[in-house]
Structures are given as structure tokens and as C-alpha cells.
Structure 1
Amino acid sequence: DEDNLPGLLKGTDAVADCLDSLDKKKMLERAARNAGVPYLHGAVARHEGFAFLDREGSMMSRLYAAPETTGGNMNTTGLTVAATACVMAALLVRSLGREADNRDRLFHIDVSLPELESFSLS
């Protein structure tokens, strides 16, 4: 929660979001921003996954401006979750190794095609 996150994030190199609640994702992003650590976001629905690495702590509010709604079961496949987790892991490893700066890049994967693409959010 908001009270224990600062202590949990102290001394970390990055934060990986694997949460189901948009409100909790935003709370974690704020805590990461306050702790000065990169925030790695992932989201899945049906056959699609999204991931980004945020060093500034402002992407969630840009992507998810509307309040959270509950959509029920989205029939997300295990393959979608695994593929999105792989994209997230690659972003994190490359970032921590300083191999690439993917700032302001949103990665989208569609396992039904399959296809991986990225978009600039600048």
C-alpha cells in the first residue's frame, strides 16, 4: 500500500509491475518515481500485451487517463502472458545493462498473428 511501498522500494534498481489493478499499477508507478527507480509496466488482454519502461514516472497517467473499470474475464491466454513477460524482461535487462534506452516507447505484442511493434509516446 501507499504506506509500505517506500520501504519496500528502498535500495532497488527497478520496479516490475505484475499487478491486475490499474489503481495499484498507478500507485506503484508513483512510488517508483518517488524512489527514483525505473518502473516497468505490463498489461495483457486476450491475445495482446503491452509493455514499457518508464524512468520519469509519468507514462501511466498518459496511457490510462480514464478511471479504472472492471471488464470481467478477458479470456487472456497463457501465451499472451508469457510473451508479454518476455518483452518486459528484455526491456529490464537491456535497461539495467545500459544497452538501450527505450524511453517513451510502448511495445505491443499480438500473439494471434504473431507480431511485435513499438510506438513512440513522445
Structure 2
Amino acid sequence: MSLLTAAPRLRNTSVFPRPVERSVLRKEYPLSIVAAALKGETDIAVGNVIGSNIFNLLFVLGASVTINPIKTEWISVYDAAILVAVSLFAMIPALQKKEICRVWGILFILLYAAYTAYLLIR
């Protein structure tokens, strides 16, 4: 299955409303994180990731459901459980060594690729 044929299936798979997806998928956002990391400003890179996720989950999702409640399905709860599990997993290197190294970065990218593949085939 190509990405083009899978795209319509992916359109309705997100737990989050469209404003959240748009804010996360802006091309400036990942580029600013990479630029901060390349400059050695890792605290800015990590702060951007954590801050935007907190903002998207609490403010954007909260405002969206205040205006128009969202019906959830079992798959949405499953995706949210994956989000919590991955968030806890990402804390392991930070708590153990106070550093997230390249090996963990590669592992995170592979996990993202696996989750994206899962979304395409489910």
C-alpha cells in the first residue's frame, strides 16, 4: 500500500482535533527544534517539544472539546495509552544518565516509524 492510497485512511485516525495536528505539523516547528539542537541549545529543543505537547493536549484539546465535544472510540483510547507508554519510556534515559544520547534518538525514530507503519496497516 502506498502512502497516497493510505492517506485517506490516516485522515480520521487521530485522537486530536485538526488545530492540534496543524500546529504540530507546521514545518517551522521541527526545523526550530533541529536548529536549536545543532546550536547546542538542547534545553530549548527539549522545552519546545515538552511545552508544545502540554499546550496541545491541555489548551487546544480542552478548548476544542469545550466548544464541541469529541466522541471517542476504543482505538482513540488505545492511541492515548501508546502516548503515555512512549512518554514514560522516553523518561528512562533522562532519569538514568541525565542525558539522551544518539542511540536513544535512533530508537525513538525507529519507534516512530513502527507506529506510523502500524497506523498505515490497521
Q: Same fold (TM over 0.5)?
A: no
Q: Greater helix percent: which structure?
A: 2
Q: Greater strand percent: which structure?
A: 1
TM-score, L = length of structure 2: 0.32
Structure with the larger RCO, 1 or 2 (CA within 8 Å, 6+ apart): 2
TM-score, L = length of structure 1: 0.32
